[in-house]
Amino acid sequence: MRHDPLSYLGKELDSLREQKLFRQLRILDDEQRAHTTVDHKSVVNLSSNNYLGLTTHPRLRAAALKAIEDFGVGTGSVRTIAGTMEIHMELERRLAAFKNVEKVVVFQSGFTANAGTVSAVLTKEDVVISDELNHASIIDGCRLSRATIKVFPHKDVEAARRIIAGLPATQRKLLITDGVFSMDGDLGPLPGLCALAEETGCIMMVDDAHASGVFGRNGRGTVDHFEMHGRVDIQVGTLSKAVGALGGYVAGNANLIDFLYHRARPFLFSTSHPPAVVLACIAALDVLMEEPEIIERLWENTRFFKAGLHDLGFDTGLSESPITPVIAGDGARAMLLSDKLFERGVFAQGIAYPTVARDKARVRTIVTATHTREDLQYALDAFAAFGREIGLI
């Protein structure tokens, strides 16, 4: 019999099992909603990025259905060959107006937007100065670019400054941060980083995946929230989280976007969005502009839930957003808490190393606009019961 050359993967998986870190995928039996059915269990869902409930919003659903009627289900080509429809251009124009920038290019996902952009704009002669907790897609983009990667401690603007001071003044530098950090829910220090980028001539880039639709006027993101318009050269947003569909985009000046049209590899070498996704995203922009009360509900729910966890005595880190981690210590403890919550009908994902530091494993909660107060109180009661049982509070 042929030797399985992949048998070493089995050993890696056994090691995960021993550490109680092996996870089966949870299966959603219903739509992506605040209260839904997962693995045949009715749950309060605190695990999705569906911040505004737009995955099932009637206006997005209707737009997607009509798109299929009018344009079919796929585009059959990459954007640069035959896969650009007028609706793709319309979405980019709408996003550019929304973000108040010259131009926008849409990618298949936020991941490819980050990885494709960083790897396109930098070469191996350049340097990236990157927050230690930046998203994996930024890290992969940095690696693909072959630029030198210099990591600064989380949110530490002065440490970033010291790194830059040690670099040749003529070397091209990209200073990059998440707008909202996905595991901790805290905000990148945009005012300090933008000032540093201006003083030192760095390109300034912000990944606003978790801020899109959540922070700023009508969900324009952290650049709007911090009033940093015109001071961030490259803004990445996602259409996959609060916007409810799928995709990522880069917002900036015309040179940047035209360059990415020519050099960003996921844009050049992967088929464009199906029409249903494109028109759902346009409908989502209409909703952000015309129904801002949904964003207000998200923040009311966020304040209620955060205050509840805080009053119970949980360590919730430094979150400033609807993402609230409940720090549990080691990975096994976080997974135990997550499993117990699930049995009680609360779906909140356990997150462990290597996604977060070994001693900072957590159950991550994300509140949405569509949770009811009863949903959130039910979840808080479950957290209280099991938090006490495993000695977290």
Cβ proximity to ligand PLP: between 206 and 327 the closer is: 206
306-315 in b/e form (b: 16+ CB < 10 A) is bebbeebebe
Query: For ligand PLP, which residue of 173, 210, 220, 364 counts as binding (CB under 6 A)?
Result: 210
* Choice from 240, 319, 324, 368 touching ligand PLP (CB under 6 A): 240
What's 187's DSSP letter? B
Nearest to 346 by CA among 384, 314, 320, 307: 384
Exactly one of 57, 88, 99, 135 binds ligand PLP (CB under 6 A); which one? 135
Please check whether residue 190 is in contact with residue 219, taking contact to mean a CB–CB distance below 8 angstroms: no
Those residues with Cβ within 8 angstroms of residue 140's Cβ, 6 or more apart along the chain or in another chain: 114, 115
Q: Which of residues 272-331 bind ligand PLP (CB under 6 A)?
A: none
Cα(44)–Cα(340) distance, integer angstroms: 13
**H/E element holding 128?**
strand 127-131
CB 232 to ligand PLP: min, Å:
15
Q: Is 219 in the site for ligand PLP (CB under 6 A)?
A: no
Rg of the chain over Cα atoms, rounded to whole angstroms, equals: 21
Q: Which is nearer to ligand PLP, 240 or 316 (CB)?
A: 240
- Residue 238 within binding range of ligand PLP, rule CB under 6 A: yes
Residue 50 in the binding site for ligand PLP (CB under 6 A):
no
In the DSSP assignment, the letter for residue 271 is B
Residues 92, 184, 186, 207: which binds ligand PLP (CB under 6 A)? 207
- Sequence-distant (≥ 6) Cβ neighbours of residue 309 within 8 angstroms: 316, 324, 326, 365, 380, 383
Q: Which is nearer to ligand PLP, 240 or 302 (CB)?
A: 240
Q: In terms of CB distance, is 302 or 308 closer to ligand PLP?
A: 302
User: Cβ of residue 267: shortest distance to ligand PLP, in angstroms?
Assistant: 14
Nearer to ligand PLP, 320 or 381 (CB): 320
Residue 182 near ligand PLP by CB under 6 A: yes
Q: Which of 45, 50, 109, 338 binds ligand PLP (CB under 6 A)?
A: 109
Which CB sits closer to ligand PLP, 183 or 202?
183
The residue at minimum Cβ distance from ligand PLP is 110
Q: Looking at 63-71, 143-151, 207-215, 313-321, which segment touches ligand PLP (CB under 6 A)? A: 207-215
What gap in Å lies between CA 314 and CA 227, rounded to an integer? 32
From residue 343, how far is each of 139, 291, 378 by CA, in Å? 35, 35, 13
- How far is 92 from 281, CA to CA, in rounded Å? 10
Place of tokens 């080509």: 77
Cβ 307 to ligand PLP, closest distance in Å?
A: 25
Given the rule CB under 6 A, which residues bind ligand PLP? 109-111, 114, 135, 137, 178, 182, 207, 209-210, 238, 240, 248
